[in-house]
Chain A
Amino acid sequence: MPSFTDKEMEIEIGLMLRIGVSVSAFVVFVGGILYLIRERMLPDYAHFHATADHLRTINGVLHGVARCDAASVIQLGILLLIATPVARVIFCVVGFARQRDRLYVAVSSVVLAILIYSLMSGNR
Chain B
Amino acid sequence: MGIPYILERGQVGANPKSRGLGSMHAAEFSALVFGTSLLAGFLGSLTGLGGGVVIVPVLVLLFKVDIRYAIGASLVSVIATSSGAAAAYVREGLSNIRIGMFLEVATTLGALLGAYLTAKVSPHWIAIIFGLALLYSAFASFRKQADHAVNSPNALAERLELRGSYPTSSGEQRYSAQHVPLGFGIMFGAGTLSGLLGIGSGAVKVLAMDQAMKLPFKVSTTTSNFMIGVTAAASAGIYLARGYIDSGLAMPVMLGVIGGSMIGSQVLMKANVATLKMLFAVVIVALGAEMIYSGLTGRI
Task: Report if B250 contacts A (CB, 8 A).
Answer: yes
Contacts of B240 in A (CB 8 A): 56, 75, 78-79, 82, 122
Knowing A25-B258, A115-B230 touch, does A74 contact B243 (C-beta < 8 A)? Answer: no
Query: When chains A and B are docked, how far (Å) is the Cα of A110 from the Cα of B98?
Result: 13
B153 interfacial contact with A, CB 8 Å = no
**B263 touches A (CB below 8 Å):** no
Check B247–A36 contact: CB distance below 8 A.
no
- The answer to whether B258 and A21 touch across the interface, beta carbons within 8 angstroms, is yes
CB-contact partner of B241 in A9, A46, A122, under 8 A: A122
**A116 (CB) vs chain B CBs: closest residue:** B237
Of B235, B242, B254, the residue contacting A78 (CB under 8 A) is B254
Contact residue among A9, A75, A92, A114 (Cβ-Cβ distance under 8 Å from B234)? A114
Give CA–CA (A108, B112) in the complex, Å. 17
Is the C-beta of A43 less than 8 angstroms from some C-beta in chain B? yes
Q: How far is the CA of A5 from the CA of B258 in the complex (A)?
A: 30
**Is B188 an interface position by the 8 A CB rule?**
no
* A20, A25, A46, A56: the one within 8 Å of B255 (CB): A25
* Total contacts A-B at CB 8 Å: 214
A-side contacts of B91, CB under 8 Å = 11, 14
- Distance between Cα atoms of A49 and B75 in the complex (Å): 19
Contacts of A67 in B (CB 8 A): none
Given contacts A28-B251, A103-B161, contact A122 B237 (CB under 8 A): yes
A95 to B66, CA, bound (A): 42
Which residues from B are CB-within-8-Å of A70?
Answer: 247
Give the Cβ gap from A22 to chain B, nearest Cβ, in Å: 9
Contact B76 A78, beta carbon cutoff 8 Å: yes
Let me know if B132 is at the binding interface, CB within 8 A. no
Given known contacts A45-B63, A103-B160, A107-B102, A81 and B76 CB-to-CB distance under 8 angstroms: yes
Which secondary structure dominates where chain A touches chain B? helix
Given the complex of chains A and B, what is the CA–CA distance between A85 and B30 in angstroms?
Answer: 27
Q: Is B95 an interface residue (CB 8 A)?
A: yes
Q: How many interface residues does chain B have, given as a range? A: 35 or more
Given known contacts A32-B30, A36-B27, A82-B236, is B101 in contact with A92 (CB within 8 Å)?
yes
Q: Does B39 contact A (CB under 8 A)?
A: no
A42/B25 contact (C-beta < 8 A), A84-B229, A114-B108, A118-B234 known: yes
Report the Cα distance A7→B164, complex, angstroms: 12
Complex partner residue of B245 from A11, A48, A75, A104, CB under 8 angstroms: A75
Query: Separation in Å of the B285 CB from the closest CB of chain A?
Result: 26
> Nearest CB to that of A74 among chain B residues?
B247
What CA separation (Å) do A110 and B102 show in the bound complex?
10
Given contacts A6-B97, A45-B21, A117-B112, contact A51 B246 (CB under 8 A): yes
C-alpha spacing A55/B243, complex, angstroms: 8
Q: Which residues of A contact B245 (CB under 8 A)?
A: 51, 55, 75, 78
Q: For B79, list chain A residues within 8 Å (CB).
A: 81-82, 84-85
Q: List 27 A-B contacts (CB under 8 A).
A: A6-B98, A10-B97, A14-B86, A14-B87, A14-B89, A18-B83, A21-B83, A28-B254, A35-B247, A41-B26, A46-B64, A47-B66, A48-B68, A50-B243, A52-B243, A55-B245, A56-B240, A75-B247, A81-B76, A82-B76, A82-B79, A84-B83, A85-B83, A101-B161, A107-B105, A115-B230, A121-B238
Residues of B whose CB lies within 8 Å of any CB of A are 13, 19-22, 24-30, 63-66, 68-69, 76, 79-80, 82-84, 86-91, 93, 95, 97-98, 101-102, 104-105, 108-109, 111-112, 115, 160-161, 229-230, 232-238, 240-252, 254-255, 258
